Structure 1
Amino acid sequence: MKSFRNYVITLMTVLLASFSVLASDATTTNSANNKSKAPVINQVEPAFWWAGMKTPSVMLMVHGVDLASTEVTIDAKDIKINEVKSLDNANYVFIDLDISKAKAGTYPITFTRGKKKTVINYELKERNKETKAQGLDQSDVMYLIMPDRFVNGNPDNDSSDKLVQKADRSDRGGRHGGDIAGVTSKLDYINDLGATTVWLTPFLENNQPGWSYHGYAITDFYQADARHGDNAEYKNMVSEAHKRDMKVVMDLVFNHIGNGHLWMKDLPSQDWIHQWKEFTKTNYKGETISDPNASEYDRKIMQEGWFDGHMPDLNQDNPYLAKYLMQASLWWIEYAGIDGIRMDTYPYNKKEMMSEWVSYVLNEYPDFYIVGETWLPGATWESYWKTGGKNRDGFNTTLKSISDFPVWDALNKTWRDHWSITEVYKTLTEDFLYDDAGQNKIFMDNHDVDRAFGSFKKDLPNMKLATTFLLTTRGIPQIFYGTEILMAKGGDHGDLREDFPGGWAGDERDAFTKEGRTDDENEYFDYIRTILQWRKNSEAITGKLKHWVPFNEVYAYQRYTDNSSVFVVINNNLDEQTFDTARFEEALKGKTSGKDILTGKTISFDGKMTIPAKTAYIIELK
């Protein structure tokens, strides 16, 4: 049944793409009939912009009826039109405005056909004074939320008359009702836990008939999905986070859209998406992009094949599409005041365009954080996408942060598959491939992989050891909502992205409270909270990493700056271990004791140290 559904979705997608060709041809054929009518304008994107931006121009995508046959003019001294361009489809025009000298205000743009005119008043706003775009560093910890599955803050928006899929909490692939209001209501909880940053999976409109809850099939780049709330609610959430000294990372997708997007009913041009004679899915082999021996066939399938049957693949070789996408990201930064962007499926995009996009954003907001989802099998391939890499093909991305899947893999080999803790050590020995591994985003689990506690066979001591490593090694840690209460599902995405207990009225328990959690959940919650809260005031955690070769399943490392030092010891052995400390003298520097932040106890190491089985120490060296 599932394969038949996918077949139907694919067939519908191909038909929609074909229909767009016919619609475009029909528009051109009937253009003569429109000459006696005032130009019809249906949509302008972006709907408004800002004066005083460093970027001197803005491109408007205007959609209507046979707009290519109109003359476009603007009556203003401080704005001029650089270009008016129509592509294959006469229903669209792209207007490039020079706003380098413009001030905030409203500017009339006139569309004239014969004696008929239509005027739109385009607004340039004052810059958003609340926009911080402050970026992230190693002192931060991201809390990843799938808003549909977190908290239902406003039951009135669970379904929308304008959107196809309705709420059905019993359907693992359905809409469950979580929303932006729910996230806002739990900012104090997240802050108290100790996370410094909120990352929501895409909240933009996904007007799809099924599996629309995850947000990765965008059908409107400028509007929040009504079942999550509206743009103002998102902007308010960012403001509320900033009031708590927290940051916000937005999730975006440039590689593909949902087939419910307007573009799939009326393509701006035939090369707006990658079109095939028959449905062709990507091979998901990102390593082909950096592979000097890869066939052009494999590279083409990787970057131009569709991510799924209902996700048309965007063609960023089209400069107007590329500009549209880049502007959309800048719009959200300025409008909502976000601090970072996580870019989905990063290597699937045209790499040159993505490098240009990162530079475009950083030109406007130099401290802004951008992390690419680079799901690749090792540091060799990951480093290709990170700035500073010495790539022999001459390509140098401007991306500073990648999703460190090698660290995730090492964590799973060690505590899921019971390999030696040396796997974690070995992974970090490859940091010479990165210019600054401290900018890498590291994680135990996320919305695409099995939850860590389930992967670790619900072994609480192992979960604690993995958590200690994640939150004290180099990089910017990310934890998945529910990790702190030992949510453990895996397998089907709809299952592992389960609802947070207590996020809905009538839930059997409220795991946001101590009383609503089990003893094991509270034990782990207190453990991770202790580390997270300590991190907020630790200078050492922002510094360098120095580690020692593991022995007898004991792994030791130091995080340090010129003024602060912390010594971490992880005993992954089933037995207590006692060892000489002379080999660590370059970290200990004559000190014979320190405070373990996990227990508050003083740990002595006058020549020797003893650590219990399956235990970690985080020792502050004063």
Structure 2
Amino acid sequence: MKSFRNYIVIFVTLIFASNSILASDAITTNSLKKGKAPVVDLVEPAFWWADMTTPTVMLMVHGVDLASTDISIDTEGVKINEIKSLDNANYVFIDLDISKAKPGTFPITFARGKKKTVINYELKARNKETKAQGLDQSDVMYLIMPDRFVNGNSENDSNDQLAQKADRSDRGGRHGGDIAGVTSKLDYINDLGATTVWLTPFLENNQPGWSYHGYAITDFYKADARHGSNEEYHNMVSEAHKRDMKVVMDLVFNHIGNGHLWMKDLPSQDWIHQWKEFTRSNFKGETISDPNASDYDRKIMQEGWFDGHMPDLNQGNPYLAKYLMQASIWWIEYAGIDGIRMDTYPYNKKEMMSEWVSYVLNEYPDFYIVGETWLPGATWESYWKTGGNNRDGFKTTLKSVSDFPVWDALNRTWRDHWSVMEVYKTLTEDFLYDNAGQNKIFMDNHDVDRAFGSFKKDLPNMKLATTFLLTTRGIPQIFYGTEILMSKGGDHGDLREDFPGGWEGDKRDAFTAEGRTDDENDYFNYIRTILQWRKTSDAITGKLKHWVPFNEVYAYVRYSDKESVLVVINNNLEDQTFKMDRFAEALEGKTSGKDILTGKAVSFDGEMSIPAKTAYIIELK
């Protein structure tokens, strides 16, 4: 275990959040020193709710040698199903039946001989603000890395109890963006036309470096103090809902940061995947569905670590699995979020993840869950999505995947100057999905080069790719700053650059038209026009029908029972004129319409002409 320990750097002092129960009222400092009463220092979840569909809750309690205590509850409506300690006597897991419990507080007694410690546990009434309304094709996600968006409260940029301090000159450092900053720009996002806010993880990341991105969680129940508080996040969700906007939370079940309490005091040896020496994942998600894959490759994929500071969690441990599942429910009920984006979905134990999705949907049937499934084609993506016929018998419950094949096709077409046939061919594989319209589609995000930079800063190509993204099937996602043509790539710290105008003293404020260049305003107005139109379009929630591209012209219709929209993308360097008879089945005799991009009438009686590198979005009349 020597080399393993070399990778586990324990640097953090345990900090108890406002949502963690402390037993300070029941235990005096002197009694702790003399051992006169059992020591209980943490209970998670800190509180729960009565009248949940699932009638049980498991409490993870940490202290000193709690396995040797007698634990009892004498409250009507609350029954102990199981008390379990694993390898580490400092933890006990108490499974409660609360099917008959009412909202209120009840005592839990920990006794060792005649010495007792009592903590009070609360069951709250259900949160009436919780909507959990889910997402569909009418929605567009606006992806924000909060540390790099807006600094709404400069007083929380650094925190004495958290390792990494603010340093805006460090590309891998914390820059000071926060939840308050996001809340302050909800009107901007709404005016842009996005319907949904997705923040990369805002939970505590008490790591010595690169903590800004949020994917090395050290507390599943507490907002990182440099981002704000749980209450501020709850307020942000409420403010979004007031604007008829939705919120998606980013969660990670695959790994934690090594500053987590668990890495100071593991509940059990199998809580994480342990190796004789540091072993990194091979990042080959294809091995999970590959019938010919070796057991070795599958094991490295799922049990190898992402990095030396990110211990890999073992979801095969049923107590860890229950802990993680409950943490997601806690945030849904507490904050009223509408969806969850699950990071590194295929890296987790697949059976547990399907159980988790079912667990959430049992409580919130309309809730939206999308898995990050970074795989090279629809063949592999569809393995993780409902409706497939997996030969190995794996039954997935996940309805939405991150459509990396569409991202790849967009880049082949407009980055590498291949043919528009690439996006067409990618969509011809939609037969592998039960409903491709549920897929999350994007042209850039926090892990890949920004689209405008990838497209060699070619504005016409950027507009064509945008038109496709926002009018094809699926739920689009745009990355903060895409609307102002932010273009960096390569190093993650660079492509996740600060939004200009998000900090006091910035040289310009790109949240305003006056702070943007002519090209930035041109593109901003272009994408805003499409996004605002989407809010009123019934066709965008309907079906897709497309035609084989010709002369680099790609045409398709989005249609519902109420309306039809014809999209024509001319990727040719020359103007194109073509006959319309091949589209007769969609036109239904219509010979004109309105291009929503220009507001002008478009006539196509017999044939249509379209300029080079131009797109039309035509509401058929």
- What is the TM-score with the length of structure 2 in the denominator? 0.96
| 2:427 matched residue in structure 1 | 428
For each residue in 1:288-314, what CA deviation from the matched residue of structure 2 results, as whole angstroms up to 9, or x when unmatched?
A: 000000000000000000011100000
For each residue in 1:32-87, what CA deviation from the matched residue of structure 2 results, as whole angstroms up to 9, or x when unmatched?
A: x9996200011000000000000110000000000000000001111010001000
Equivalent position to 2:7, from 10, 13, 29:
13
| 1:156 matched residue in structure 2 | 155
1:558 corresponds to 2:557: yes
- 8 A Cα contact 1:224 1:230, kept in partner: yes
Amino acid at match of 2:102: K
Separation in structure 1 between the aligned mates of residue 134 and residue 513 of structure 2, nearest angstrom: 32
Separation in structure 2 between the aligned mates of residue 67 and residue 34 of structure 1, nearest angstrom: 16
- 8 A Cα contact 1:34 1:66, kept in partner: no
Aligned to 2:234, the other structure's residue is in SS state helix
Separation in structure 2 between the aligned mates of residue 434 and residue 396 of structure 1, nearest angstrom: 14
| 1:306 matched residue in structure 2 | 305
Separation in structure 1 between the aligned mates of residue 584 and residue 364 of structure 2, nearest angstrom: 43
| 1:447 matched residue in structure 2 | 446
- 8 A Cα contact 1:219 1:262, kept in partner: yes
Amino acid at match of 1:126: A
> Kindly, what percent of the aligned residue pairs are identical?
87
- Residue 507 of structure 1, CA deviation: 0.1
| 1:467 matched residue in structure 2 | 466
Separation in structure 1 between the aligned mates of residue 533 and residue 218 of structure 2, nearest angstrom: 41
Query: Residues 197 and 66 of structure 1: is their aligned pair in 2 closer, same or farther, counting only changes over 3 Å?
Result: same
Separation in structure 1 between the aligned mates of residue 587 and residue 619 of structure 2, nearest angstrom: 10
| 1:270 matched residue in structure 2 | 269
- 8 A Cα contact 1:10 1:310, kept in partner: no
- Residue 612 of structure 1, CA deviation: 0.1
- Residue 284 of structure 1, CA deviation: 0.1
- 8 A Cα contact 2:4 2:276, kept in partner: no
| 2:82 matched residue in structure 1 | 83
Separation in structure 2 between the aligned mates of residue 225 and residue 15 of structure 1, nearest angstrom: 20
For each residue in 1:89-122, what CA deviation from the matched residue of structure 2 results, as whole angstroms up to 9, or x when unmatched?
A: 0000000000001000001000000110000100
| 1:201 matched residue in structure 2 | 200
- 8 A Cα contact 1:106 1:124, kept in partner: yes
- Residue 396 of structure 1, CA deviation: 1.6
Amino acid at match of 1:403: S
Separation in structure 1 between the aligned mates of residue 379 and residue 545 of structure 2, nearest angstrom: 21
| 1:233 matched residue in structure 2 | 232
Taking the TM superposition and a 5 Å limit, the aligned residue runs for 1:89-128 are: 89-128=88-127
| 1:496 matched residue in structure 2 | 495
| 2:60 matched residue in structure 1 | 61
1:256 corresponds to 2:250: no
- 8 A Cα contact 2:108 2:118, kept in partner: yes
Aligned to 2:523, the other structure's residue is in SS state helix
Separation in structure 2 between the aligned mates of residue 191 and residue 519 of structure 1, nearest angstrom: 22
Aligned to 1:366, the other structure's residue is in SS state coil
- 8 A Cα contact 1:330 1:361, kept in partner: yes
Separation in structure 2 between the aligned mates of residue 366 and residue 588 of structure 1, nearest angstrom: 37
Aligned to 1:184, the other structure's residue is in SS state helix
- Residue 10 of structure 1, CA deviation: 7.3
1:323 corresponds to 2:322: yes
Aligned to 2:237, the other structure's residue is in SS state helix
- 8 A Cα contact 2:9 2:259, kept in partner: no
| 1:540 matched residue in structure 2 | 539
Amino acid at match of 1:216: Y
Separation in structure 2 between the aligned mates of residue 535 and residue 296 of structure 1, nearest angstrom: 47
- 8 A Cα contact 1:576 1:612, kept in partner: yes
Amino acid at match of 2:376: P
- TM superposition outliers: structure 1 runs of 4+ over 6 Å: none
Aligned to 1:505, the other structure's residue is in SS state coil
Aligned to 1:466, the other structure's residue is in SS state helix
Separation in structure 2 between the aligned mates of residue 218 and residue 348 of structure 1, nearest angstrom: 16
- Residue 542 of structure 1, CA deviation: 0.1
Amino acid at match of 1:526: N
- Residue 373 of structure 1, CA deviation: 0.1
Taking the TM superposition and a 5 Å limit, the aligned residue runs for 1:332-351 are: 332-351=331-350
Separation in structure 1 between the aligned mates of residue 34 and residue 599 of structure 2, nearest angstrom: 80
1:139 corresponds to 2:133: no
- What is the TM-score with the length of structure 1 in the denominator? 0.95
1:359 corresponds to 2:358: yes
Separation in structure 1 between the aligned mates of residue 130 and residue 121 of structure 2, nearest angstrom: 22
| 2:579 matched residue in structure 1 | 580
Matched residue count: 600
| 1:27 matched residue in structure 2 | none
| 2:486 matched residue in structure 1 | 487
Amino acid at match of 1:67: L
For each residue in 1:261-304, what CA deviation from the matched residue of structure 2 results, as whole angstroms up to 9, or x when unmatched?
A: 00000000000000000000000000000000000000000000
Amino acid at match of 1:490: G
1:508 corresponds to 2:507: yes
- 8 A Cα contact 2:3 2:276, kept in partner: no
- 8 A Cα contact 2:78 2:100, kept in partner: yes
For each residue in 1:156-215, what CA deviation from the matched residue of structure 2 results, as whole angstroms up to 9, or x when unmatched?
A: 000001100000000000000000000000000000000000000000000000000000
- 8 A Cα contact 1:280 1:306, kept in partner: yes
For each residue in 1:332-375, what CA deviation from the matched residue of structure 2 results, as whole angstroms up to 9, or x when unmatched?
A: 00000000000000000000000000000000000000000000
Separation in structure 1 between the aligned mates of residue 35 and residue 213 of structure 2, nearest angstrom: 46
Separation in structure 2 between the aligned mates of residue 42 and residue 556 of structure 1, nearest angstrom: 62
- 8 A Cα contact 1:36 1:116, kept in partner: no
Separation in structure 1 between the aligned mates of residue 563 and residue 10 of structure 2, nearest angstrom: 60
Amino acid at match of 2:557: Q
| 1:21 matched residue in structure 2 | none
Aligned to 2:271, the other structure's residue is in SS state coil
| Gap regions ≥5 residues in structure 2 | 12-31
Taking the TM superposition and a 5 Å limit, the aligned residue runs for 1:286-301 are: 286-301=285-300
For each residue in 1:116-155, what CA deviation from the matched residue of structure 2 results, as whole angstroms up to 9, or x when unmatched?
A: 0000100000100000000000000000000000000000
Amino acid at match of 1:423: E
Aligned to 1:183, the other structure's residue is in SS state helix
Amino acid at match of 1:13: Y
- 8 A Cα contact 1:548 1:556, kept in partner: yes
For each residue in 1:574-602, what CA deviation from the matched residue of structure 2 results, as whole angstroms up to 9, or x when unmatched?
A: 00000000000011111111000000011
Amino acid at match of 1:259: N
Separation in structure 2 between the aligned mates of residue 469 and residue 318 of structure 1, nearest angstrom: 43
Separation in structure 1 between the aligned mates of residue 339 and residue 219 of structure 2, nearest angstrom: 20
- Residue 13 of structure 1, CA deviation: 2.7
| Gap regions ≥5 residues in structure 1 | 1-7, 18-32
| 2:69 matched residue in structure 1 | 70
Aligned to 1:271, the other structure's residue is in SS state helix
C-alpha RMSD of matched pairs (Å): 1.3
